[in-house]
Structure 1
Amino acid sequence: MAAYHLAQRVLFQHCDPAGIVFYPRYFEMINATVEQWFADELQFSFAKMHLTEKVGVPTAAIETHFKAPSFLEDRLDFNLQVEKIGTKSVNLQLRVSCAEQLRLEAKITLVFVCLQGAVPKSIVWRSDLREKFAAFQFD
Structure 2
Amino acid sequence: MFTNRREVQIQWGDCDPADIVYYPRYFAMFDDSTSALFVAAGCSKRDLIKVYGLVGIPMVDTRAKFYMPSTYGDVISIESRIERFGRSSFEVLHKVFKGEQLALEGFETRVLVGRHPDDPSRLKSVAVPEEVKAKFMRG
Fold match (TM-score > 0.5): yes
Alignment CA distance shift 1:49-1:66 (3 Å): same
1:62–1:107: 8 Å Cα contact kept in structure 2? yes
Supply the distance in 2 between the matched residues of 1:48 and 1:21 (Cα, whole angstroms): 32
Name structure 2 gaps, 5 residues minimum. Answer: none
- Deviation, structure 1 residue 103: 1.2
Q: Could you tell me which amino acid in structure 2 is paired with residue 127 of structure 1?
A: E
- Is the contact between residue 2 and residue 136 of structure 2 (CA under 8 Å) also seen in structure 1? no
Q: Which runs of 5+ in 1 are unaligned?
A: none
Other-structure match for 1:122 = 125
Instruction: State the Cα RMSD in Å.
Output: 2.0
Where 1:130 maps in the other structure, the secondary structure is helix
2:46 — aligned with what? 47
Partner residue, 2:70: 70
Q: Hey, what's the Cα distance between the residues in 2 that align with 1:115 and 1:74? A: 42
Query: Residue 34 of structure 2 contacts residue 92 of structure 2 at CA under 8 Å; is this kept in 1?
Result: no
Q: Kindly state the Cα deviation for residue 76 of structure 1 after the two structures are TM-superposed.
A: 0.9
Task: State whether residues 10 and 72 of structure 1, in contact with CA within 8 Å, keep that contact through their aligned partners in structure 2.
Answer: yes
CA contact (8 A) 1:85 1:133 kept: no
SS in structure 2 at match of 1:17? coil
2:96 is the counterpart of 1:96:
yes
CA distance in 1, matches of 2:8, 2:122: 34
CA distance in 1, matches of 2:60, 2:42: 20
Look up the match of 2:137. 134
Matches within 5 A, 1:1-16: 1-16=1-16
Which residue of structure 2 aligns with residue 109 of structure 1?
A: 109
Q: Say which SS state the counterpart of residue 135 (structure 2) adopts.
A: helix
Preserved CA contact (<8 Å) 1:56 1:115 = no
Q: Distance in 2 between matches of 1:84 and 1:9?
A: 29
What's the offset of the Cα at 1:28? 0.4
